[in-house]
Amino acid sequence: MKALTTVLTAFLENQTSRRNLLALLRLLLVLAVIVTIFSILFHVIMEMEGQKHSWLTGFYWTLTVMSTLGFGDITFDSDLGRGFSIVVMVTGVVYLLVLLPFTFIEFFYAPWMKAQQATHAPRELPATMKRHVILTLHGPITKLLVKMLKKHHHPYVVLVPTLSEALDLHALNVPVVLGQYSDPETYRKLRIEQAAMVVTTRSDIINTNVTFSVREISENVPIIASARSTAARDALELSGVTHILSLEKMMGQALSRRVVGGDSKAHVIGIMDELVIAEAAAAGTDMVGKTILESDLKAITGVTLVGFWDHGNLVHVEPDTQIRESSIFILAGTSDQIEKYNSALAHRSSEKSRVVIIGGGRVGRATAEALDEEGADWKMIEKLPERVRFPERTIVGDGSEFELLVEAGMHEASTVIITTHDDDTNLFLTIFYRRLRKSLQIICRCTQEDNVERLHRAGADVVLSYATMSANTILNYLRGSETLLLAEGVSIFTAKTPKCLEGITIAESQVRSRTGCSIIATEHKGARTINPEPDTVLHANCPLIMIGSLEAEEKFFESYESKGGK
């Protein structure tokens, strides 16, 4: 009954539905009038033939003839009566079998079904909803963010402006609310004052409208918005945005940092209070060819070598792990320790890195500017002349044409960076370039998270995902100092020391071998120790700061929760 009431309410609140219902009622009234007139004429003609029937019989005869059932138990004897029967029958065929069903379906059944579907797209959240994240798009970035929100038990809802979009998402079991982005009342119904965050990643215009509308209701809720132009960033700041995702700049800087050779400086990729996480290329340093133990890195700089990047994955290192020219370090330490690393080991080669950039769009241009800051020598290939911003260093044409690649210096380059927005194109070019040169470092941008592994299999050394970078940034902001997600889906997280580990050392706990997580800091009596020694004793219920993949994080909690040790 409650469901029927909801559907009926949704049906009747629509002005068109109410108008259609009145039209249907008028049609039924006309039908009743026609049946009454035919019943009266039935009695008149029957009287002329000398037959007597009741009024109920008259209605019975009219309805059986109009519906073409025609039982034949009551018939006329005269031609006049039979002619009248034909008129009644034809009227019934036109009215009951054609006009009325069509009108019923068009004016009542279809709107009713639409109203029933609309109940799956609510326009308001329950008053009990709190600490939820409001999204304005279910796209590549937010799809990955949703997975992370589910993993960390954060409620969320997607705001969409059209019923069709709402029903599509409902079919995918995505929590959805129907409403207009520019209507402040929409955000009241979304319980904006109780929300944890608003994330809007649609067009610059819509993002600005969303930000302005939210700020009319709430001055405190954090708003994270994407922006593609300087004007959009200015408009968002004036509207009251909390944080702007400059996706192209983020991607360009990240792509340029991964170029092997030239600069071995440690680049900061995450900060968690005093703990700093950085990445650095081993190429050109005197550590290449040594084992971790032989490098004596911690004794020289104080930083801990947490692991290497290997095709987007965090690979833990052992004392006998050999450092290669292509190794990309993940370092953990304090700001002073990172600076000490740069002073002791960072260098800039006298020979500039030679890089070929494929694609001169926003990401390609941001990559070029970041490479200029790093002092790299680059050339760009862009297919569309109107996108060229660096004409003296850009070759117009297709990145798969061999002659253009030779002109760009691909045969001498150490690295090629593929920045186009189409993953299929990037996959094709990755395969092509890998066949041309086995030793070439291929760094690739990826739009859809699902294609990261495909690009790695095709031969890319480094793949950076738009979705991962943006989702990590958003979740880091949401969770504050509680956790930190790095650019490749590696998590730095805090957990209480399990009771089962109380009184034993880090080395004895074997946390890394059991779960894949490395302990990079401990806390005891309010004091934090960064990069603790293996003989550091653990204390129950004291914070541990660890680094590992998201799967390793899950394994840690599953392993020690099962022992009652969280």
What pLDDT, in 10s, does the model give residues 388-407?
Answer: 999 999 999 999 999 999 99
Extract long-range pairs of 287-296: CB within 8 Å, 24+ residues apart.
Answer: 287/323, 287/345, 288/323, 288/324, 288/325, 288/327, 289/322, 289/323, 290/322, 290/323, 291/319, 291/320, 291/321, 291/322, 291/323, 292/317, 292/318, 292/319, 292/320, 292/321, 292/323, 293/319, 293/320, 295/323
Judge contact between 496 and 288, C-beta under 8 A. no
Residue 115 has pLDDT above 60, yes or no: no
- Third-level CATH fold of 2-118: Helix Hairpins (1.10.287)
Nearest to 381 by CA among 400, 362, 354: 400
Residue 530: predicted pLDDT: 86
Burial of 438 (C-beta count, 10 Å sphere; 0-12/13-18/19+): exposed
pLDDT of residue 454: 92
Residue partners of 368: CB distance under 8 A and separation at least 6: 252, 357, 378, 380, 390, 393
Q: Would you say the CATH fold of 489-561 matches that of 354-467?
A: no
**Tokens standing for 555?**
């394994």
pLDDT at 123 over 90: no
CATH 3.40.50.720 fits 354-467, yes or no: yes
Is 512 within 8 Å of 314 (Cβ atoms)? no
CATH topology of domain 133-245: Rossmann fold (3.40.50)
pLDDT value at residue 107: 67
Among 252-256, 497-501, 558-562, name the one with the lowest average pLDDT. Answer: 558-562
Q: How confident is the model at residue 108 (pLDDT cuts 50, 70, 90)?
A: low
* Residue 340 and residue 401 in contact, taking contact as beta carbons nearer than 8 Å: no
- Average pLDDT of the chain to the nearest whole number: 84
Which has more confidence, 43 or 565?
Answer: 43
As given in the structure block, the two tokens for residue 164 are 């069709």
What are 19-54's pLDDT values in tens digits?
766 777 787 888 889 889 998 999 888 888 888 888
CATH architecture of 264-345: 2-Layer Sandwich (3.30)
User: How big is the CA angle at 115 (ends 101 and 119), to the nearest 5 degrees?
Assistant: 150
Q: Phi/psi zone of residue 99: left (φ > 0), alpha (ψ -120 to 50 degrees), beta?
A: alpha
- Residue pair 553/503 in contact by the 8 Å Cβ criterion: no
Per-residue pLDDT, 172: 86
- In tens, the pLDDT along 141-161 reads 888 899 888 877 889 999 999
Higher pLDDT, 16 or 91: 91
CATH match for 489-561 among 1.25.40.10, 3.30.70.1450, 3.40.50.300, 3.40.30.120: 3.30.70.1450
- Rank 84-93, 375-384, 510-519 by mean pLDDT and report only the highest: 375-384
Task: Decide: 197 and 213 in contact? Cβ < 8 Å.
Answer: no
- Percent of the chain at pLDDT exceeding 90: 33
Positions of E strands within 336-447: 354-358, 377-382, 394-396, 415-418, 441-446
Under the banding of pLDDT at 50, 70 and 90, the label for residue 3 is: very low
Instruction: Tell whether the model's pLDDT for residue 1 goes beyond 50.
Output: no
> For every residue of 495-543, which 3-state class applies, written as one string?
EECCHHHCCCEHHHHCHHHHHCCEEEEEEECCEEEECCCCCCECCCCCE
Question: What's the first-to-final CA gap in the chain, in angstroms?
Answer: 46
Segment 152-202, tens digit of pLDDT: 788 999 999 988 888 888 888 899 999 999 999 999 999 999 999 999 999
Which helix (H) or strand (E) covers residue 321, if one does? none
Summarize pLDDT for 274-312 with one digit per residue, the tens. 888 888 888 777 888 888 888 888 888 888 888 887 766
Domain ranges of the chain: 2-118, 133-245, 264-345, 354-467, 489-561
How far, in Å, CA of 557 to CA of 519, rounded? 14
Give dist(CA 198, CA 468) in Å, integer: 18
Q: Which pLDDT score is estimated for 238?
A: 93
Q: Which residues contact 450 (CB under 8 A, 6 or more apart)?
A: none
Confidence class for position 322, pLDDT limits 50, 70, 90? confident
Largest CA distance in the chain: 123
Comparison of pLDDT for 385 and 267, the residue scoring more: 385
Q: Which residue has the higher pLDDT, 426 or 527?
A: 426
Tokens of 161: 């402006």
- The residue that leads in pLDDT, 427 or 481, is 427
Mean pLDDT of 408-422: 93
